[in-house]
Amino acid sequence: MDKAAEDLFEKFAIKQQRDLEDLQSVRSYSGIKEFGETITCSSVARALGEDYGLGYSVRTGVLMYAYEESNLHSWLIGDKGLLAYYSKAVSLEKLEQCIQEQHSAVGVEQLQKSRTSNYRKLISLNALKARKSLDEATIELSELLIPSTIASALSEISHLIIVPIRSLGIVPFSMLRPFANKEVVLIEQISLSIAPSLFDLEQLLTKTFRSTHGYFPLFEAPLVVGLSEFPQHSKQQFSPLPGVRKEIETVAQELGVQPLLNFQATKEAIYANAERSGLLYIATHGFADETEGYLVLWDSIWSGQEIHDLKFENAYVAILSACQTGLGRVHDAGMIGVARSFQMGGVPRVVVSLWSVKDEETAVFMVRLVQNMYETMVAEALQKTILSMRRDYPDPAVWASFSLFGTPR
């Protein structure tokens, strides 16, 4: 493979490390951990291989993006090294427009009006000059983010860890169509997860590997929290979420626990249980601004900084059944929001939504996800859930919003 592409990868890896170091002054992020002296294609490949002992699933690949001088770069790395590299000239304006055109075609702005507090919009979707069909917008974005050079090499990959930049973290990669057969979506062929940075690939696997058979420690002391009603205790006004009560009660029954519902869902109650919980399930309103992500509790707004400061000693996965939990501050190293906050606090895997979601269908989705996690890794459970929801609810607004931040296992 082209040595120039490998050298360029190393250059951007160094830049990403510096970008993450800059976050220390903003979010006290001190968790940068390297594979060695520097990050290279070879060191990433070793991390993916069985000999490195990190427990990644077989045939795992990393798709990393970088942007410089009006060029979008992408590298696909497997356990044998660099599999493919591609660079395309594209302006940031065009990149953002393609992302928002697909969101618009999915109907994200209508969902925002019906479910979220409308605290933040990414850009004015009404400002788009021409509305494209969902097929047109998805195929254009697919060709931009996963060009044929990369798509062809994906035949060697079963699970793909995506390392995004800027707003790429909010792209619903599961519904992209990068293959020659444009009827096939990416999630049909490959399970997916989003890594906050290259430096998290090793760091996020600090938990002991759990076997995919038999008893799952990730269900130890599960904490299930939900709000279907909201007291008007602040300047923010939050509409009721009638579907959450059924969702929470069903999930809690599946897990065999009593949920914290409505007035019980306070910071004090969550703090008393969160540190020892292996699975955190939170259904409520979520929103984001240009700096931070937030979750709404009964007694207050729970900020990303507060979540970050709470140490989750036993956490295996957090499921955030809320709107905009995949959003936050746009950074050169990706999106810094609620998902990143949970990871900084010690939760290695966080299931989030990339836009506002529907009550009834989300309840069905989440129950299926929990059931599937009894049988397989989180990434594969999410893939299985998305495919079953896609079969029963073809509208991608129902299933394409959900993404896994973290590592596959």
Tell me what pLDDT residue 319 has: 92
- CB 165 within 8 Å of CB 66: yes
- CB 122 within 8 Å of CB 103: yes
Computed on alpha carbons and rounded to an integer, the radius of gyration of the chain in Å comes to 20
Instruction: Give CA torsion, residues 292, 296, 302, 308, to 10 deg.
Output: -70
Q: Tell how strand 260-261 and strand 60-68 pair up.
A: unpaired
Tell me what pLDDT residue 19 has: 65
- CB 402 within 8 Å of CB 382: yes
Tell me what pLDDT residue 122 has: 39
Structure tokens at 46: 């070793």
Tell me what pLDDT residue 196 has: 76
Burial of 7 per CB tally in 10 Å (0-12, 13-18, 19+): exposed
Structure tokens at 67: 């942007």
Tell me what pLDDT residue 406 has: 80
The interaxial angle of helices 108-115 and 92-106, nearest 10 deg, is: 60
Distance CA 102, CA 118 (A): 19
Closest CA to 379 of 251, 204, 165: 204
Distance CA 181, CA 333 (A): 32
Tell me what pLDDT residue 264 has: 96
Tell me the domain boundaries of the chain: 3-90+137-202, 214-406
pLDDT digits (tens, 9 = 90+) for 347-389: 888 998 887 777 778 888 988 999 999 888 889 999 999 999 9
Over the chain (409 residues), the average pLDDT of each successive run of 10 is 85 76 53 57 81 63 92 94 96 92 84 48 44 92 96 94 86 95 95 81 46 50 93 74 87 93 95 90 81 85 88 88 55 62 86 78 88 88 96 93 81
Architecture of domain 214-406: 3-Layer(aba) Sandwich (3.40)
- Torsion region of 71: left, alpha or beta (phi above 0 gives left; psi -120 to 50 gives alpha): beta
